Amino acid sequence: MGGIRERSSQGQQIYETKFRVRYAETDQMGVVYHSNYVIWFEVGRVEMLRQLGFTYRDMEQQDETHIAVVDLRCRYKVPARYDDLICVRTRLLNVRESLLRFGYEVVRDTDELLLAEGETVHLVVDAQLKRMKLPEKYLSAFLLAAGQNS
Amino acid sequence: MGGIRERSSQGQQIYETKFRVRYAETDQMGVVYHSNYVIWFEVGRVEMLRQLGFTYRDMEQQDETHIAVVDLRCRYKVPARYDDLICVRTRLLNVRESLLRFGYEVVRDTDELLLAEGETVHLVVDAQLKRMKLPEKYLSAFLLAAGQNS
Amino acid sequence: MGGIRERSSQGQQIYETKFRVRYAETDQMGVVYHSNYVIWFEVGRVEMLRQLGFTYRDMEQQDETHIAVVDLRCRYKVPARYDDLICVRTRLLNVRESLLRFGYEVVRDTDELLLAEGETVHLVVDAQLKRMKLPEKYLSAFLLAAGQNS
Amino acid sequence: MGGIRERSSQGQQIYETKFRVRYAETDQMGVVYHSNYVIWFEVGRVEMLRQLGFTYRDMEQQDETHIAVVDLRCRYKVPARYDDLICVRTRLLNVRESLLRFGYEVVRDTDELLLAEGETVHLVVDAQLKRMKLPEKYLSAFLLAAGQNS
């Protein structure tokens, strides 16, 4: 499930992906354990790539291009709960030759309540974790999604 | 495993806890998946509490005091790998009546290489997730650990 | 995503649910870490309940009925890989007043290759983990799904 | 933490490893989510190897020998809870040239209460997941640990 929602203010495309909270993701406070939002950000990133016409699987396997997380930030507003239908809204905040910055909103789908928001910064690296430039096909698509003029 | 290491510069106590990377924590890049550091921060917090003479279990069960994460930050330096002996160095950066800020360093124990560092901010809440003041016994111990004059 | 597929041989309804393998679920062998199939079984159970007209959330909250795992079995055939579209086929193998036995097939959706299969046995318990009888509305629906005459 | 406990009845060595339940491992029932026991079995296996003088890291990296799970069984007796000190008692039930069967008891360390028990069966495979024979140094050590005459 998912789709694209244009946002005009900064020209960035917003990509949505939806899934339900798993029981395994809850903790004894009765809410989702906070590290799971980090995994949800990854789900958002991956589905954004798919909606851009790529898969991260091919990016790794065919183009030996990996994006390694170097910085993570998450602000928690309202706890997600078991069986909630979650919508992750992902966008590219910044694109450079070997660096990507993604932004995320985690929303409860039924009432659009913002549960959490965050950012991740990634270096583009090869299989040996050495920094490299994004292959051109990704770079141009990412610049477009980020609303940047290349 | 763990212990206390005084740090003079800011008067904060540093609490260490050690454990090995589990196979389950790796991903197909051959390194630890990045959300696991967030769980390691929690392990560091909990063992810090234990070294202060409390358990978070009692804090929740007996004193109905929970500390809910509201902000998370992690900067990744060098990837942890399977079977590495990890040392998490935890300290209290800031203590207020109903807010705690922890800092963490994740270090590879064999050579003291810094793998990641981060901070979390927590609100003190009751079982219904409503904000409350820290019970006095915790507050005074936390202030001491943070090197703050109450 | 999901749906019902009748299977005539034993009269059990088979309920399907589909999702993609997350990067977080892989390990350094380049395949899905084996404990994740256990979580996928749970996803299959929960979606089966939903297709039966219930939610496990309501079952717990409104009817204080929990189903606690007491036995787990999984046989691994072919490893699932990152980004595979997975289909879990769940069915009720056996229903008794306070015991449920589920069966699962984990299939790669693109070519219907069987990746793993397993069973779980659950006791019906209340919030204090004490054994109880299934409320009538669940029992009758479950017996029907299991193809059992009550 | 851990150590060896001889068990005379079947001549198998029992290897112990201990750790605390993490908050992340609990679920909203207030107990440990059941898939985590499967990860604990892995911790038990790995620490057993270490006590035998090997590391699974070297086994994979230096000897390109992997042990892939093909069968898993777990019986849950009493739920583990947050902060419990857990002891996993691991032993080799059966050793063949390219197959290993491990048995596990998960015990609450404070009162030796049995929480769960299980078995896993593993094929010995190379990095391409093709079946291979155990290198001699492992085979002889494993046969000894299993109390088998080779």
Model confidence pLDDT, tens digit, residues C75-120: 999 999 999 999 999 999 999 999 999 999 999 999 999 999 999 9
Both tokens assigned to B25: 């924590």
Query: Could C72 and D73 be called an inter-chain contact, meaning their C-beta atoms sit closer than 8 Å?
Result: yes
Give the H/E segment covering residue C49: helix C36-51
Q: Subunits touching D (CB < 8 Å, at least 3 pairs)?
A: A, B, C
- Given 3-state DSSP classes, what are the helix, strand and coil percentages for chain A, each rounded to the nearest 5? 25, 40, 35
Q: Collect all residues from D whose CB is shorter than 8 A from any CB in C.
A: 29, 31, 34-36, 38-39, 42, 66, 68-76, 79, 118, 129
Q: Which DSSP string corresponds to chain D? A: -EEEEE-TTT--EEEEEEEEPPGGGB-TTSSB-TTHHHHHHHHHHHHHHHHTT--HHHHHHTT--EEEEEEEEEEE-S---TTPEEEEEEEEEEEETTEEEEEEEEEETTTTEEEEEEEEEEEEE-TTS-B-PPPHHHHHHHHHHTT---
Burial (0-12, 13-18, 19+ Cβ within 10 Å), C98: middle
Nearest-angstrom CA–CA distance, C85 and B29 = 20
Region of poorest pLDDT, from A44-48, B75-79, C143-147, D5-9: D5-9
* Cβ contact, residue pair A23, C1, below 8 Å: no
**pLDDT confidence of residue A101:** 98
Could you tell me which of C150, C136, C148 has the C-alpha nearest to residue C54? C136
Q: Which residues of B touch D1 (CB under 8 A)?
A: 1
Q: Do B23 and D42 touch (CB under 8 A)?
A: yes
Q: The tokens 């800092």 sit on which residue? A: B103
* pLDDT mean over D92-114: 97
Nearest CA in chain A to B78: A70
pLDDT tens digits, C15-74: 999 999 999 999 999 999 999 999 999 999 999 999 999 999 999 999 999 999 999 999
A neighbour chains, 3+ CB pairs within 8 Å? B, C, D
Token pair for B140 = 């005074």
CA distance D50 to D54: 5
Structure tokens that stand for D16 in this block: 């112990």
Contact C118, C75 (CB under 8 A): yes
> Residue C55 in contact with residue C49, Cβ under 8 Å?
yes
- Per the CB < 8 A criterion, the answer to whether D67 and D85 are in contact is no
Q: Which of A25, A28, A83 to mutate to test the interface with C (most CBs of C within 10 A)?
A: A83
Average pLDDT score over residue span D42-53? 96
Quick one: pLDDT band at residue D11, thresholds 50, 70, 90? confident
Whole-angstrom Cα distance, residue D39 to residue D104?
A: 12
Handedness of CA B3, B9, B12, B18 (dihedral sign): negative
- Sheet containing D2-6: give its strands across: C2-6, C13-20, C85-96, C99-108, C113-125, C66-76, D66-76, D113-125, D99-108, D85-96, D13-20, D2-6
Computed over every residue of chain D, the mean pLDDT equals 93
Instruction: Give the minimum alpha-carbon distance from A97 to chain C in angstroms, rounded to a whole number.
Output: 24
pLDDT at D8 over 50: no
Residue B150 above 70 pLDDT? no
- C149: which DSSP letter? -
**Mean per-residue pLDDT over chain B, rounded:** 93
Q: Which residue of C has its CA nearest to D76?
A: C70
Report the pLDDT value the prediction gives residue A9, as an integer from 0 to 100.
60
ipTM, interface predicted TM-score of the complex: 0.93
Q: What is the mean predicted confidence (pLDDT) over D64-88?
A: 97
Our CA-based measurement puts residue D30 at a distance from the nearest CA of chain A, in whole angstroms, of: 4
Between A128 and A104, residue with greater pLDDT: A104
Q: Which residue has the higher pLDDT, B129 or D45?
A: D45
pLDDT at B11: 78
Contact C69 D76 (CB under 8 A): yes
C-beta of residue C75 within 8 angstroms of C-beta of residue C88:
no
In this predicted structure, the answer to whether residue A2 has a pLDDT above a threshold of 70 is: no
Q: Decide: A139 and A86 in contact? Cβ < 8 Å.
A: no
Which residue among B1, B56, B83 sits closest to D57, beta carbon to beta carbon? B83
| Chain D residues contacting A via beta carbons under 8 Å | 23-24, 26-31, 33, 35, 82
Q: Cα separation of D36 and D88, whole Å?
A: 12
Confidence of residue A8 (pLDDT cuts 50, 70, 90): very low
Contact B28 C24 (CB under 8 A): no
Q: Minimal Cα–Cα distance from B145 to chain D, Å?
A: 22
Chain C residues touching chain A at CB-CB below 8 Å:
1, 19-20, 22-24, 39, 42-43, 46, 55-57, 82-83
Rounded Cα distance between B44 and B16, Å, is: 7
Q: Compute how many other C-beta atoms are within 10 angstroms of the C-beta atom of residue D134.
A: 22
The yes-or-no verdict on residue D108 having pLDDT over 50 is yes
Name the closest residue on chain A to residue C40, using Cα atoms: A22
Burial of A127-150, coded b for 16+ CB within 10 Å and e otherwise, reads eeeeebebeeebbebbbbbbbbee
Predicted local confidence at residue B8, as pLDDT: 43
**Closest-CA residue to C80 (of C133, C134, C35):** C35
Is the pLDDT at D137 greater than 60, yes or no?
yes
Contact C46 A39 (CB under 8 A): no
Q: CA–CA separation, A71 vs A93, rounded Å?
A: 14
pLDDT number for residue C8:
43
**Cβ-Cβ contacts under 8 Å for A19 (sequence gap 6 or more):** A1, A40, A43, A85, A86, C19
Model confidence, pTM: 0.95
pLDDT digits (tens, 9 = 90+) for C126-137: 988 899 999 999
* Nearest-angstrom CA–CA distance, A103 and A41: 9
Of A5-19, C67-81, D90-104, the least confident: A5-19
Q: Give me the residues paired with residue A20 across strands.
A: A85
Check whether D79 has a pLDDT greater than 80: yes
- Coil vs helix vs strand at B62: coil
Q: How confident is the model at residue A11 (pLDDT cuts 50, 70, 90)?
A: confident
